[in-house]
Amino acid sequence: MSKKTKENILDSALKLFNEKGLVNVRLQHIADEAFISIGNMAYHYKNKESIVHAIHELLELELKTLMAEMNVVPLFDYVNQYFENAFQLQLKYAFFFTDMLEVFRSYPDIAEKHSKLITWQKKQYELMLEFNQNRGVFEMPEIDNQKEHVVNQLWMVTYMFQSFRLIEGAKPNLKNYCDQIWSIFIPLMTERGLQEYKQLGSFSII
């Protein structure tokens, strides 16, 4: 019962954070959503910070799992599947990506931990690029730090996409998300890479 109660609390908190934003949700709101008392909730999570920490741990685990699956054999179809799954993960944990700066300001230890996750994530992107370069579908321009620039572009698009769309007054859209990512890859593609990309048949960039 204890495990189910903890899951219920986190599910309720995540729902409210996504709907109302991190700063607008109090412990009483979460307790009401979970249909438990504040005292019962405090037995499992003593404060809001501990709840956010627990949610971040779940996000980190799911993100690492997705990225590990992609990098087993990062062919284009596996890469595309990763980004589709990553998009769904961002919808699931929407508040974290739209309120990221607020999360980091409020909870510096989460910021420090997530910074390490970002470094690891960028390394996985780098390995994916190297794999596809070695098999002849990407050709990296001979420009200083070009691979680093591509990795940073990937990170910015994948992390900031929801915020950009909301600023524009539009809802996050899977196709647009994937199009934005593949638009980073297309200038790197060899003829072989372009043919493989076209075989995906899901996008409208080319």
The pLDDT confidence band at residue 53, using thresholds 50, 70 and 90, is very high
- For residues 107 and 187, state if they share a domain: yes
**Measured distance CA(185)–CA(205) in Å, rounded:** 11
Give the chain's mean pLDDT: 92
Question: Residue 187 has what pLDDT?
Answer: 94
Question: Residue 205 has what pLDDT?
Answer: 45
What single letter denotes the amino acid at residue 180?
Answer: Q
pLDDT at 204 over 80: no
Question: Residue 114 has what pLDDT?
Answer: 95
* Mean pLDDT (whole number) for 155-182: 90
Structural domain for 137, as ranges: 52-200
Percent of the chain predicted with pLDDT > 90:
80
Identify whether 147 is part of a domain: yes
Among 23-27, 94-98, 168-172, which stretch is predicted with the lowest mean pLDDT?
168-172
Q: How many CB atoms lie within 10 A of CB 184?
A: 15
Question: Residue 18 has what pLDDT?
Answer: 96
Dihedral of alpha carbons 83, 132, 140, 68, sign:
positive
Pair of tokens at residue 137: 């579908």
Identify whether 112 is part of a domain: yes
**Measured distance CA(35)–CA(12) in Å, rounded:** 9
Identify whether 91 is part of a domain: yes
Residue by residue, what is the 3-state secondary structure of the chain?
CHHHHHHHHHHHHHHHHHHHCHHHCCHHHHHHHHCCCHHHHHHHCCCHHHHHHHHHHHHHHHHHHHHHHHCCCCCHHHHHHHHHHHHHHHHHCHHHHHCHHHHHHHCHHHHHHHHHHHHHHHHHHHHHHHHHHHCCCECCCCCCCHHHHHHHHHHHHHHHHHHHHHHCCCCCCHHHHHHHHHHHHHHHECHHHHHHHHHHCCCCCC
Question: Residue 10 has what pLDDT?
Answer: 97
Question: Residue 206 has what pLDDT?
Answer: 42
- For residues 26 and 106, state if they share a domain: no
Dihedral of alpha carbons 144, 115, 178, 80, sign:
positive
Task: List the CATH number of the domain containing 24.
Answer: 1.10.10.60
Question: Residue 71 has what pLDDT?
Answer: 82
Question: Residue 32 has what pLDDT?
Answer: 96
Identify whether 194 is part of a domain: yes
Quote the number of domains for the chain: 2
**Measured distance CA(15)–CA(51) in Å, rounded:** 12
- For residues 23 and 68, state if they share a domain: no
- For residues 7 and 40, state if they share a domain: yes
Pair of tokens at residue 195: 């043919």
pLDDT at 136 over 80: yes
Cβ-based neighbours of 9, under 8 Å, separated by 6 or more: 30, 34, 36, 41, 44, 45, 51
* Mean pLDDT (whole number) for 65-74: 88
Cβ-based neighbours of 44, under 8 Å, separated by 6 or more: 2, 5, 6, 9
- For residues 75 and 172, state if they share a domain: yes
- For residues 105 and 64, state if they share a domain: yes
Question: Residue 104 has what pLDDT?
Answer: 95
The pLDDT confidence band at residue 200, using thresholds 50, 70 and 90, is confident
